[in-house]
A and B are shown apart, each in its own frame.
Chain A
Amino acid sequence: MNPTSHKESVSLDVAIVGGGPAGISAGLELSRRTSLKVALFEREEQLGGIPRFCHFFFGMRDRKRVYSGPAYARKLSALIQETPIQIHTGAMVMNVVPGSSGKAHGLHVLSPRGSEFYSSRFILLTTGCFESSRQARHIPGSRPAGIFTTGTLQQLVNLRSLRPGRRAVIIGSEHVALSSVLTLRRAGVSIAGMVEEHQELQTYDCPVEMIRRFCGFPVYRDTSVKKILGNERVEGIELLRKKSGEHFLMDCDTVVVTGKFRPDSSLIENTPIEQDTETCGPVVDMDFKTSVPNIYAAGNVLRGADMHDLCALEGRSAARSIIKKLDSNDAGTETSISMKVESPVRYVVPQKLDQERMLKSPHRKLFQGPAVQVEKTLKNGIMEAWSGMEKIWERRFRKLIANNRYPLPVEKFDWNRVDPRDGVLIRITF
């Protein structure tokens, strides 16, 4: 199928795929150029993305005030609807077909209105991310009903006012685990406990401690799930204290698996857009450009979950890059340096840096400069940057929390010793 060659295709300047914080913020920025023909596609009936069913503390860094999740989603949605941007909700982008050698890109969009084709000079992917399922987390045991991710739980409770069960165990302790505590409380589900496989929590200790005391549930660290019990509905969960080897049972009818987000990058599969083997999202440079000209990506599709407001700011930055590209219209010959990571560093984004720009005007903004996340909370180590056999930077740290984005001070790297052929590797030693 080649939508670009389709007779009835509608032509656009920019197509934004995904109407969450990143996509809407990009749209708002692009709408300032009234001459541009921009369309935004959202597969849900409502705009707003994940914040539609989250709770509070939204909008701080992008809108400079605090909203609840749904209010934030409504606000963004209202703002974008005032612009001349075409909004297509309930519209799923089934395929992106990159145009060959500078030609417009194609999109196949399906909605109850029909199967439509668009061609667009630019595409911005802001499709977000999803939480790992119980199966993807390799949690052993039977396969009964009553196992949810935080996202499913929030949909049930906050969008549909349903109570998923009576007594729940929460697996994982990333930031999002706290959201699941609040959602369960709101639905009137009692919390039997929170289980973290590592000794360190994957979020800040303090809020977990406060919530744990307030709600009165135990937090089991260094504890893994031996198996989920129950053939029809969850009947309990068997846990294993890793150090002592002690097993114990917890009664529950609901298990909430939290975190371990992954980009929803299915649109780039089977396209020439380069995919990062670590994040499974697209590889981008500092302008949020993917490996295919005029296709950009921003927000959580780059890395898995991060704060919505950082995504919004990223969407805005990506939109500015697109405008800049429209204005300058030069192909640009930049020497790009590949950034790579080694476990326990989970990823670095963007994965391509422009060395000259780096030296001229270093970016340290959280939403633009290169940043890393670690796989799990780490204490007392050294983060290092290497190029080939040369160490070009190092810094000691006392604690790195799993879910946080840590900006890399790339202006401090010894760029003279960087060999562009080797790229830069970020690693951690103890």
Chain B
Amino acid sequence: MTKATDVLIIGGGVTGLSVARELSKYNVHVTLVEKETDVGWGQTKASYAIRHPGARWAPGTLAQQMIAEGNRLMEQIIEDLDIEFKRSGELVLAFSKEELESLKTMKRHAEHIKVEGLEIIGNSEIMRLEPNVNPAAIAALYMPTAGIFNPFDLVFAFFENARENGVEMMMDTRVKGIIPERNKFIVETNRGEIRADYIVNAAGLFAEKIAGMAGVRDFKITYTAKASCLILDSLLGGTVQHIVTALNDPKAFLRYKLATPTFHGKMLIYTSFSEPAKGIEDRAVSKGMFDATIESAKALLPDVDLERHVIASFAGLTARNDRGDFIVEASGKNTAFVHAAVPPPGITCSPAVGQRVVEILKSNGLSMNEKTTFNPYRKSIRSLRKSSATQMGELVREAPCFGRVVCRCEKVSEGEIIEAVRRGATTLDGVKFRTRAGMGRCQMNYCGPEVTAILAGEQNQALESITKKGRGSNYIQ
């Protein structure tokens, strides 16, 4: 089976999907392939859900430019795509003179891209804003525009909106080879051949491998270190109000520890302490990583009982590259092959990267007319958590399944799960990341069988064929 498309996007993470949505504004045929069963399951899945203001990147880097533009564009996207976002503000703490100097440098970085409201505050102001943080902090850089949001919802929103506007989405589609021909690429996948005029390489960790297939070895991906995040119970949800961070190394602004409230009332802790990955698919959380994350969070919040309240842990690899910056450019060797190699904070930058890729395609000969039928809006799944008691009553009157609470911890109804399946969830993780069913303190241990049964029923499949995250991960076997 051979398909033909104008632009083929390889990779269904937040970067690829943002490119897809941006391209769906124009009269071009776009296809997106993703090797996993669902979108956002690479680097995006292990996001710590923060919108960065951009102080950690030096002026002149593409990363900082993308963050600045991404933040600017994000306002409209949050509005149009109905994304949960809260401007919580960020405090970068300093415990020494040297760290204070680093804060001043970070402040200059942020000023360069006109981040608003920046301030260096002293100990008493820190303690007033965040009474639980380590009182040894001598100063902090306060960045009020930073915020917390639901990053998965952004990914699904891009996916749903791009699909509605005509992008063809192919899941479970792994690229096996790319043959560049004159004015074309022939891309071999496990689901047949795709002929594409242009390729956007948004393959994240696999970007080097994909570029290699097309013979454009422009950079190396260095993924060797993984880091972990822990989610703490809602009992600790009010421990901090702002994103609280501190540098692990005063000279490396990307190496830090963090404690932040999550949009859904929990707390997330992270540290850049990392362990060598045993391979590109290694996302295991070791005891050492777990302990290091707890220990670093204790440096921020010394008197909080963290260990007892961990409800989830996850780790991810970061696809940094040998150039130390974002790579969003057409390959010098073949201008129809466009790289979008974006490490964290890829979510913050995604709107800017999408626009930049479109510009690059345009300037490299892709003829693009704006679609008159483009629909910029998408509504998120109607849910109990976003409803008042009266609105819940309206939902139930419309469909009684909204009155059946399946996930007790996060109060997710059957109606929401059914809607998630209709929007493209095919697995337990697909449902979980779309609805939050299973993200609470029991971690799908009470509702797992019920969610599986609903998935099976909606898809007309046997319970035995339902998986956690695609092929081979059957819930029961």
A residues with a Cβ closer than 8 A to B are: 1, 3, 43, 90, 92, 94-95, 108, 110-115, 117, 130-131, 133-136, 138, 140-146, 148-149, 151-152, 155-156, 159-160, 162-166, 226-227, 231-233, 253, 262, 264, 266, 269, 275, 277, 280
Contact of B112 with A by CB under 8 A: no
Which residues of chain A have C-beta atoms less than 8 A from B471's C-beta? 232
Give the distance in Å from the alpha carbon of A250 to the alpha carbon of B472 in the complex: 20
Q: Which of B205-239 contact A (CB under 8 A)?
A: 234-235
Bin chain B's interface residue count: 35 or more
Give the distance in Å from the alpha carbon of A380 to the alpha carbon of B403 in the complex: 53
A160-B449 CB under 8 A given contacts A114-B396, A280-B235: yes
Give the distance in Å from the alpha carbon of A159 to the alpha carbon of B470 in the complex: 25
B313 to A135, Cβ gap below 8 A?
A: yes
Question: 6 smallest A-B Cβ distances: which pairs?
Answer: A232-B472, A115-B393, A145-B468, A112-B400, A133-B443, A232-B473
Contact partner of B403 (CB less than 8 A), chosen from A112, A117, A253, is A112
Contact of B285 with A by CB under 8 A: yes
Give the distance in Å from the alpha carbon of A146 to the alpha carbon of B393 in the complex: 37
B445 to A115, Cβ gap below 8 A?
A: no
In addition to A90-B404, A148-B445, 9 A-B residue pairs with Cβ atoms within 8 Å of each other are: A110-B392, A110-B405, A113-B400, A131-B445, A133-B445, A138-B310, A145-B467, A155-B449, A231-B281
Which residues of chain A have C-beta atoms less than 8 A from B312's C-beta? 135
Can you name 24 A-B pairs with beta carbons within 8 Å? Answer: A92-B408, A94-B392, A110-B384, A113-B400, A114-B403, A117-B389, A133-B442, A133-B443, A138-B287, A138-B307, A142-B283, A143-B283, A144-B468, A145-B428, A145-B467, A149-B445, A151-B446, A164-B477, A232-B471, A233-B472, A233-B474, A262-B441, A266-B409, A275-B235
Give the distance in Å from the alpha carbon of A67 to the alpha carbon of B408 in the complex: 29
Which residues of chain A have C-beta atoms less than 8 A from B113's C-beta? none
Contact of B138 with A by CB under 8 A: no
Give min CB distance, B233 to chain A, whole Å.
9
A140 to B404, Cβ gap below 8 A?
A: no
Which residues of chain B have C-beta atoms less than 8 A from A160's C-beta? 449, 453, 463
B449 to A156, Cβ gap below 8 A?
A: yes
A232 to B389, Cβ gap below 8 A?
A: no
Render B271-288 as a binary contact track against A, CB cut-off 8 A, 1 for contact: 000000000010111110
Which residues of chain A have C-beta atoms less than 8 A from B467's C-beta? 145, 232
Which residues of chain A have C-beta atoms less than 8 A from B310's C-beta? 135-136, 138
Q: Which of B381-425 contact A (CB under 8 A)?
A: 384, 388-390, 392-393, 396-397, 400-401, 403-405, 408-409, 411
Which residues of chain A have C-beta atoms less than 8 A from B281's C-beta? 231
Contact partner of A130 (CB less than 8 A), chosen from B284, B405, B446, is B446
B476 to A152, Cβ gap below 8 A?
A: no
A164 to B476, Cβ gap below 8 A?
A: yes
A232-B449 CB under 8 A given contacts A110-B396, A114-B397: no
Which residues of chain A have C-beta atoms less than 8 A from B470's C-beta? 232
Contact of B448 with A by CB under 8 A: yes
Which residues of chain A have C-beta atoms less than 8 A from B448's C-beta? 148, 152
Give min CB distance, A381 to chain B, whole Å.
23
A156-B290 CB under 8 A given contacts A115-B393, A115-B403: no
Contact partner of B463 (CB less than 8 A), chosen from A94, A95, A162, is A162
B411 to A94, Cβ gap below 8 A?
A: yes
B284 to A140, Cβ gap below 8 A?
A: yes
Contact partner of A163 (CB less than 8 A), chosen from B235, B469, B476, is B476
Closest to B288 in A: A140
Give min CB distance, A238 to chain B, whole Å.
11
A162-B476 CB under 8 A given contacts A114-B393, A133-B311, A142-B284: yes
Closest to B305 in A: A277
Contact of B95 with A by CB under 8 A: no
Closest to A228 in B: B284
